Amino acid sequence: MANGGYDLNPEDFYRLAREMRERLRSSRRLVLMIIGVAIVVFGLISSYYQVEPDEVALVTRFGRFVRTTNPGPHVKIPFGIERVQKVPVQQQLKQEFGFRTVRAGIQSTYRKDEKTVDEALMLTGDLNVATVQWIVQYKISDPYKYLFKLRDVEDTFRLMAEASMRTVVGDHSVTELLTVGREAIAAKAKELLSNMCKRYDNGIAVQQLVLQDVDPPESVKPSFNAVNQAIQERERAINEAWAEYNQEIPRARGLAEQKVEAAEGYAVDRVNRAKGDAQRFIALEAEYRKAPEVTRSRIYLETLAAVLPNAGKKLIFDEKAKGILPMFPLGTIQEVKP
Amino acid sequence: MKGRSWWILLGLAVLVIVTLSSALYTVSETEQVVITQFGEPIGQAITQPGLHVKMPFAQEANVFDKRWLEWNGNPNQVPTRDKKYIWVETYARWRIANPLLFFQRLRDERGAQSRLDDIIDGETRNVIANNNLIEIVRISNRAFDKGEEAEDVMEAEAMRQVELGRDKLTRMILARSEKVVPDYGIELVDVQVQRVNYIDSVQAKVFERMISERKRIADRHRSEGQGKSAEIRGKKERELKVIESEAYRKTQEIMGRGDAEATAIYADAYNRNRELYRFVKTMETYRGTVDKDSWLVLSTNADLYRYLQSPAAAGAVGRIPAR
């Protein structure tokens, strides 16, 4: 028990050491094998890559661009000698200005904060202020240029879009911006941005530039609405006046027509009556001519015979007996002379 | 014996790897490299991408970006020539055109950024301060499509003619800055004014002005509506008068014509025997005018009662008077 529990003689020690060395040698072989296999597996894995249908891949060897590969499975030289950068050339990409879509869907939600408000705020050509929200849709037309020409191609693209939109808005009045000029402004801004992309040679093709909400600044909004209201009021006043006009004029025309027709009737009536009366008189006169005295007496007596019974009071007095007349109150007497 | 050779082999391999990794370097598509030997630049910059060799340990590869690089200016508060205080935000894109010079003068991009700050901000201030606000806002003298708004609501400044315009001003900033930067191995590719905005206190005034402008426009619309409707009502009144008077004229004409014709017919007929007409008409009148309330006071001298006291004929009834 001198060695603290161990009891080992020299022979045993050498044997043990030999065994250990043997075991170590075989395990070293094992480790080497494992490392070798790992390298091969890693090499195989890192030499394979796949390109999705909406992408292309740019392959660089020691940093130098060597080829572009299309969608599908591909092989490259492993161990970082060839590297792959994938670019979504088929995708339509979108940048939003003045707002951000938080969640797209049937009912998309949007967000505005100080940053997007600053993005949207701009001066118009008549030195007014408006907030403009817009989107730009674009595609990567040249993946090589897109990757290697500019360091921050997306950020730069945003700045370019802002500069071109402000340039165009700066040449339009606030009224144009809010009403008639929208499409023209979007078209011009798109043209400007496209030209800028060509000049920057950044491999981006602008597809569409669409104005979203274009508003006067928040504190000015009510007065813009007041203008719209005033326009409505104006239209209403005019419409009401026309309604009145349309109500009264045709009726007046109708009434006028009625009066004319009535006059026409009156004239015909007069003429016909005159003709009738005249014919009657002519007939009478013809007969009268044959026996004037008798006819005259007949007419006279017939008339009196018809008239006298109708009279309420009849007073017959003799010429010689004067003095009756004054007994009657004159006001009630209707004197009829023959 | 065997173990020792192993160690030597391993040592050699490590030595080779270390030497190679120091001698070989890659230049990517986006990079360019300046080789320095103990800090001293050697030869021209390497811009060709790929695998390159340098002297190991003694030489060092200094990598610079080859792409267009960013420079985004801070918003600058600048007064324009017409004393409008505005925020101007510019951005520029630049590249390291001469990496050797760039390396010697500026060392790295941080140095470049601060130098560009000084240069571009300064030139922006100079250009903006020497021009009216309208020059940096507009690019042309394009006439606005006024639609329903009238000219009178526009501010005088906004009506001012643009002499240079935004495009020329940015080109001026670029041209002036461009002159300085080649000393630093930099090429300035583009400078753009990204944003121009009023400072807050000016903005508040502008909003006030906009409100009063809109109010004026609204008032005009309203009074225009009143004017137009009054005009329409006037037109209506006039047309009513025309219609009514025309109708009156026509009816009078027509009735007159009727009356005239009737009169002619009567005259024609009654002229045949005027006395008879008078007699017959008188008789008719008697029939029409004597009613229950009438008193008839008749003398025995009247023709009817002539025979009331004596049947002898004193005169014939219905004697024909001379025509």
Q: Which two tokens stand for residue B180?
A: 């300085």
Tell whether A170 lies on the interface with B, counting CB pairs under 8 A: yes
- Beta strands B59-65 and B31-37, pairing class: antiparallel
From the candidates A128, A178, A319, which should be mutated to test the interface with B, based on the most B CB atoms within 10 A?
Answer: A128
Does B320 have pLDDT greater than 60?
A: no
pLDDT digits (tens, 9 = 90+) for B236-253: 999 999 999 999 999 999
pLDDT (0 to 100) of residue A320: 63
Give the mean model confidence (pLDDT) for residues A37-54: 89
Nearest CA in chain A to B51: A62
Tell whether A137 lies on the interface with B, counting CB pairs under 8 A: no
Tell whether A287 lies on the interface with B, counting CB pairs under 8 A: no
Q: How confident is the model at residue B157 (pLDDT cuts 50, 70, 90)?
A: low
Q: Which of A153, A167, A134, A168 is nearest to A204 (CA)?
A: A153
Q: Which strand (E) or helix (H) includes residue A159?
A: helix A153-169
Q: How confident is the model at residue B288 (pLDDT cuts 50, 70, 90)?
A: confident
Give the mean model confidence (pLDDT) for residues B301-311: 69
From the candidates B294, B300, B301, B320, which should be mutated to test the interface with A, based on the most A CB atoms within 10 A?
Answer: B294
Residue A275 buriedness (CB in 10 A; 0-12 / 13-18 / 19+): middle
Residue A170 CA to residue A56 CA, distance in Å, equals 39
Give the mean model confidence (pLDDT) for residues B136-157: 70
Cα A317 off chain centre by:
103
Does B15 have pLDDT greater than 70?
A: yes
pLDDT (0 to 100) of residue B307: 72
Give the mean model confidence (pLDDT) for residues B193-212: 89
Does B177 have pLDDT greater than 70?
A: yes
pLDDT (0 to 100) of residue B83: 87
pLDDT (0 to 100) of residue A30: 86
Residue B40 Cα, gap to closest chain A Cα (Å) = 25
Q: Which two tokens stand for residue A36?
A: 């070798």
Residue A106 Cα, gap to closest chain B Cα (Å) = 34
Give the mean model confidence (pLDDT) for residues B75-91: 89
Q: How confident is the model at residue B120 (pLDDT cuts 50, 70, 90)?
A: very high
Q: Which residue among B222, B230, B250 places its CB closest to the CB of A260?
A: B250
Which of residues 226 through 245 in chain A touch B, CB cutoff 8 A? 226-227, 229-231, 233-238, 240-242, 244-245
Give the mean model confidence (pLDDT) for residues A170-195: 90
Cα B62 off chain centre by:
55
Q: How confident is the model at residue B147 (pLDDT cuts 50, 70, 90)?
A: low
Q: Which residue has the higher pLDDT, A155 or A3?
A: A155
Q: Model's pTM, two decimal places?
A: 0.71
Q: Where are the beta strands (DSSP E) in chain A?
A: 48-51, 56-61, 64-69, 72-75, 82-87, 93-97, 100-103, 109-111, 121-123, 129-140, 204-215, 313-317
pLDDT (0 to 100) of residue A312: 76
Alpha-helical (H) ranges within chain B are: 2-23, 99-106, 109-129, 133-137, 156-159, 165-180, 200-270, 274-289, 306-309
Q: Which residue among B67, B243, B297 places its CB closest to the CB of A148?
A: B67
Residue B67 Cα, gap to closest chain A Cα (Å) = 5
Could B93 and A284 be called an inter-chain contact, meaning their C-beta atoms sit closer than 8 Å? no
Q: Which residue among B299, B304, B316 places its CB closest to the CB of A304?
A: B304
pLDDT (0 to 100) of residue A295: 87
Could A316 and B309 be called an inter-chain contact, meaning their C-beta atoms sit closer than 8 Å? no
Does B304 have pLDDT greater than 50?
A: yes
With a pLDDT cut of 90, the percent of chain A lying above it is 44
Round the average pLDDT of chain B to a whole number and report it: 85
Q: Which residue among A238, A249, A277 places its CB closest to the CB of B236?
A: A249
Residue A284 CA to residue B270 CA, distance in Å, equals 11
Does B323 have pLDDT greater than 60?
A: no
Give the mean model confidence (pLDDT) for residues B38-60: 86
User: Would you put residue B57 in left (φ > 0), alpha (ψ -120 to 50) or beta?
Assistant: left
CB burial string A136-172: b at 16+ within 10 A, e below: bebbbebbebbbbbbbebeebbbbbbbbbbbbbbbbb
Residue B123 buriedness (CB in 10 A; 0-12 / 13-18 / 19+): buried
Residues 6+ apart with CB under 8 A from B36: B42, B59, B60, B62, B103
pLDDT digits (tens, 9 = 90+) for A221-249: 898 889 889 989 999 999 999 999 999 99
Q: Which residue among A127, A181, A334 places its CB closest to the CB of B145?
A: A181
pLDDT (0 to 100) of residue A185: 93
Q: How confident is the model at residue A122 (pLDDT cuts 50, 70, 90)?
A: very high
Which of residues 37 through 76 in chain A touch B, CB cutoff 8 A? 60-65
Q: Which strand (E) or helix (H) includes residue B130?
A: none
Number of neighbours of residue A45 by Cβ within 10 angstroms = 10
- Beta strands B76-79 and B85-96, pairing class: antiparallel
Number of neighbours of residue A182 by Cβ within 10 angstroms = 16
pLDDT digits (tens, 9 = 90+) for B264-273: 999 989 898 8
| Angle ∠(A137,A139,A145) on CA atoms, nearest 5 | 135
Q: Which residue has the higher pLDDT, A132 or A114?
A: A132
Q: Which two tokens stand for residue B65?
A: 């970006």
Residue A219 Cα, gap to closest chain B Cα (Å) = 7
Question: Which chain B residues have a beta carbon less than 8 Å from that of A146?
Answer: none
pLDDT (0 to 100) of residue A260: 93
pLDDT digits (tens, 9 = 90+) for A253-290: 999 999 999 999 999 999 999 999 999 999 988 988 89
Residue B221 near residue A230 (C-beta atoms within 8 A):
yes
Residue B155 near residue A184 (C-beta atoms within 8 A):
no
- Beta strands A313-317 and B295-299, pairing class: parallel
Could B236 and A333 be called an inter-chain contact, meaning their C-beta atoms sit closer than 8 Å? no
Could A223 and B211 be called an inter-chain contact, meaning their C-beta atoms sit closer than 8 Å? yes
Cα A152 off chain centre by:
36
Instruction: Quickly tell me which residue has 């600048």 as its tokens.
Output: B78
Q: Which two tokens stand for residue B265?
A: 């017919």
